[in-house]
Amino acid sequence: MAKSNSESTAASAPWEVRRNSSGKHRLRRLVPWLAVLIVLAFVGWGFWPKPVLVETAAVTRSALTVRVSEEGKTRIRNRYVVAAAVAGRMRRVPLKPGDEVRAGETLLTTIEPVAAPLLDPRSREQAEAEVSMREAASKQAAQSLEAARAALRLAEADRDRVRSVHRSGTVSGAERDRTEGDALIKAAEVRAIEFSMQVNDFRLAQARSALTRPDAGRASEVVELKSPVSGRVLKVMQESEMVVASGLPILEVGDPQDLEIEAEILSRDAVAITVGDSVEIEQWGGAAPLQGRVRRIESAAFTKISALGVEEQRVLVLCDLIDPPPAAKALGDRFRVEVRVAVWHREEVLVVPSGALFREGNVWKTFVFRRGRAVSTTVDAGHSDGRLTEVLAGLSAGTEVLLHPPDAVKDGSRVTRREGAVAGGPP
């Protein structure tokens, strides 16, 4: 019987499934499904939205100062341009920019008279003819003087005779007056001819001087130019020896210790600035900013082309330094600085970091960190200094907001603080 069963089993078809009573076959069928489930779990975990790493800060109460920042430069308050007082030959200027000068002591340069120019043959002949003409005029005037003196002597003799006869009563008063007046007229003619001779002598000397070349280096005729103020040489416009005209600028001097700050402020920002506003001067080369005060705001604006090619209307604002430190003495004329003028200040206002605010249409908004979620909140913003912004409504002190939220953050997004980031107020 057993033999028949084994024979029937061996004679079964090969495509018939053999049953395994141990259950190993069932386990082998479950392994692929388990692998698929594990892969799907990893894929789902990878696509599951993770919390966005963010930095946060707290809304606090702090002092806020709004400043207008603009590039400026130093300049010497009083500059003096030394010009040639007379026309002549200027000697070489020995000074260089930066050399120290003292008022009324330092000799800047000297100006000598220019020698007479050489005459060409035609001009010399004309000058010699002019001299001959003046000499002949002098001789003519001398003869006229002799004739006038002779007429004067005759008139005086007639006057004397009329005076002697008038005492006896034989000459009328009219005759006496006529002889008196004739004598006076002749005397005046003599004086007029004498004056004309003097004028002709001067003209003769002038004509003769055109033929001579006097020495131009006489010490009595040299003009010395000395420094009008104590300070330093700022610029030398004419250094080499040359013939200069009267009024030609030679060099510029000033006191580098007497500095002021010049800033070109946009006209729309200059409207908010008043005389006396406090100023901070930064990027001048020292660690701490210099303190200053607005002294003058010029009332006329000028047009300036920006680096982008845009026409801008700017106004010059002049500032004085207040108790500059010893290190500031190294500043010179036309040094670049950064000027920050205070136009608004409050001691205690509710402020939020400006990096936490963003525009959505015409409304300012921020994301509030609340129980691991980013909640969009509308904020009524006030003044801002670029780092902190005044909060008028929408937030309260101590509220934690997101700094520079990335584009992935939306209203209700899960967020988490970045490792090492400490929640707190603005620095």
Q: How confident is the model at residue 95, as a pLDDT?
A: 93
Q: How confident is the model at residue 378, as a pLDDT?
A: 93
Per-residue pLDDT tens for 146-198? 888 888 888 888 777 777 776 656 667 777 778 778 888 888 888 888 888 88
First to last CA, the chain: 99
- The domain ranges of the chain are 54-64+348-417, 67-74+256-346, 83-114+217-254, 121-209
Sorting pLDDT into bands at 50, 70 and 90, what band is 426? Answer: very low
Between 130 and 20, the more confident residue is 130
Q: How confident is the model at residue 100, as a pLDDT?
A: 93
Q: What share of the chain has pLDDT > 70, as a percent?
A: 86
Between 208 and 229, the more confident residue is 229
Count of beta carbons in the 10 Å neighbourhood of residue 60: 18
Per-residue pLDDT tens for 70-123? 999 999 999 999 999 888 889 999 999 989 999 989 999 999 887 766 677 887
Q: How confident is the model at residue 189, as a pLDDT?
A: 84
Per-residue pLDDT tens for 380-417? 999 998 889 999 999 999 999 999 888 888 888 888 88
Mean pLDDT of all residues in 240-269: 92
Domain boundaries 54-64+348-417, CATH class: mainly beta
Give the long-range contacts of residues 137-145, CB within 8 A, separation 24 or more: 137/200, 137/203, 137/204, 138/197, 138/200, 138/201, 138/204, 141/193, 141/196, 141/197, 141/200, 142/197, 144/193, 145/190, 145/193, 145/194, 145/197
Residues 180, 158: Cα–Cα separation, whole Å? 9
Per-residue pLDDT tens for 281-332? 999 998 899 999 999 999 999 999 988 899 999 999 999 999 999 999 889 8
Between 354 and 198, the more confident residue is 354
- Among 250-254, 339-343, 422-426, which stretch is predicted with the lowest mean pLDDT? 422-426
For the chain, what is the mean pLDDT? 83
Q: How confident is the model at residue 407, as a pLDDT?
A: 85
- CA gyration radius for the chain? 53
Q: What share of the chain has pLDDT > 90, as a percent?
A: 43
**CB contact at 8 A, 51 and 372:** yes
Per-residue pLDDT tens for 46-85? 666 678 888 899 999 999 999 999 999 999 999 999 999 8
**One-letter amino acid of 5:** N
Secondary structure string (H, E, C) spanning 356-375: HCEEECCEEEEEEEECCEEE
Q: Which residues pair with 349 in a beta bridge?
A: 62
Query: Is residue 266 within a helix (H) or strand (E), and if so which, with residue range?
Result: strand 259-266
Residues 415, 371: Cα–Cα separation, whole Å? 9
Q: How confident is the model at residue 147, as a pLDDT?
A: 86
Sorting pLDDT into bands at 50, 70 and 90, what band is 278? Answer: very high
Sorting pLDDT into bands at 50, 70 and 90, what band is 218? Answer: low
DSSP per-residue codes, 90-133:
EPPP---TT-EE-TTTSEEEEEEPPPPPPPPHHHHHHHHHHHHH
Sorting pLDDT into bands at 50, 70 and 90, what band is 25? Answer: low
Residues 387, 383: Cα–Cα separation, whole Å? 11
Q: How confident is the model at residue 316, as a pLDDT?
A: 95
Q: How confident is the model at residue 277, as a pLDDT?
A: 93
Q: How confident is the model at residue 174, as a pLDDT?
A: 76
State pTM to two decimals. Answer: 0.59
Mean pLDDT of all residues in 115-133: 78
**One-letter amino acid of 61:** R
Per-residue pLDDT tens for 358-370? 998 889 999 999 9
* Fold adopted by 67-74+256-346: Elongation Factor Tu (Ef-tu); domain 3 (2.40.30)
CA nearest to 384, candidates 424, 356, 421, 405 = 356
Domain boundaries 83-114+217-254, CATH class: mainly beta
Quick one: CA torsion of 411, 416, 419, 424, rounded to 10 degrees?
Answer: 60
